[in-house]
Amino acid sequence: MPTQKAHFWLRDEDRATERRTALTPKNARILIEQGFGVTVERSTKRAFSNEDYESAGCYMAEPRSWVDAPSDMVILGLKELAETPAELPHHMIHFAHIYKDQTGWEKEMARFVNGGGLLYDIEFLVNDDGRRVAAFGYWAGWMGAALGAHRLLERRAGRDEITKGVSPFESQAVIIDKLKALAAEVDGPLPNAIVVGAKGRSGTGASECLEAVGIPVTKWDIEETRILNRTALLSHNMLVNCVLMTGPGLLLANQTHLAAPQSRMKVISDVSCDPFSDFNPLPIYKEPTSWTDPVIEVGKNGDGDAVEVTSIDNLPSLLPAQAAEEFSDQFLASLLRFAEGPEWKNAETKFHQIREKAGL
């Protein structure tokens, strides 16, 4: 007899600023047509309407009702969970951010182990060649570079807008027009930027954003950081860090480096945003910035100018519909082969490795 296909339960995100989704209405319809079950929790913040999911044939449920859903439901989301319930009995799919020794990782693993559940961390859904099946990297890099450029250019123009908070944008074109207008307010050459991790998805997005505005961009990747020329790095006015660290080995800058006489750094956009990890290559701030407080000062450069960091950990939600559509299209093939595809087997293996590491 054929194996019964999974029933995915798309949860409403716990985070108030998370407007993206792992599953668009278009792709929910495809899953249903292929014999999968799909339940969608109603949401007032998701970039796609409840009506669109209903029209696609999804069952609809109330927000956070997944907590009481049958244990054979596969709970699908994006960002980390709220602190309750204490035990998690379901198989769950989301970005948990607990596999690289982040603060609280053992406690979060214990919720799954004690409840009998299983985490398929999207960051570790990889094929046998080690390549991730779906990622928001391009949009994170693009949006991170846009926010950094906005702060750099508005400081140059004597403005102070972005520190008052950010909210989702209508489109890339709106952002580019805004940045170009800021750039045109002051005569003379534009400040320069460096993108580290330039060959990856995030780095590609960051570089393309800056180039669209006309900001000169230096692109570094593994070869350029193997023996780091920190003086050259800090001679730039802006750094966009897109390096995904999975272990120790790279220190881009600390407060002492930022204050060196040769440092001209003013704005750092830390797209990788991993301040809770021991592997953080930018140990200059203690927690991510936010939509309400997107920029913090972390020191002074060699000229005595402020060095500021922006490090928002859900950057693609500032362009939620575009980011979610691309991600969901990437992710659909994996959902259609749940849970027998190699990416699911690899993610399950990773979960058990981390469980053993935690001694659970």
Given a cut of 70, the residues of the chain with pLDDT beneath it are: 1-3, 246
Angstrom distance (rounded) from CA 320 to CA 314: 10
Q: Which two three-digit tokens encode residue 96?
A: 């948990």
Catalytic residue among 7, 26, 45, 79: 79
Catalytic residue among 97, 150, 236, 257: 97
CA 346-357-253 angle, 5° bins: 90
90 a catalytic residue: no
Angstrom distance (rounded) from CA 178 to CA 182: 6
Residues contacting 279, CB < 8 A, separation 6+: 100, 101, 245, 246, 247, 248, 249
Is pTM, for the whole model, over 0.85? no
Helical spans, DSSP H, in 230-339: 230-234, 255-258, 320-336
97 a catalytic residue: yes
Predicted pLDDT at 1: 42
All CATH 3.40.50.720 domain ranges in the chain, comma separated: 7-124+319-357, 137-318
Architecture of domain 137-318: 3-Layer(aba) Sandwich (3.40)
Q: Which CATH class is domain 7-124+319-357?
A: alpha beta
pLDDT digits (tens, 9 = 90+) for 20-46: 999 999 999 999 999 999 999 999 999
Predicted pLDDT at 3: 65
pLDDT digits (tens, 9 = 90+) for 48-101: 999 999 999 999 999 999 999 999 999 999 999 999 999 999 999 999 999 988
- The whole-angstrom distance between residue 341's C-alpha and the CA centroid of its chain comes to 24
Residue 103 is given by DSSP the state T
Judged by DSSP in three states, 208 sits in: helix
Judged by DSSP in three states, 304 sits in: coil
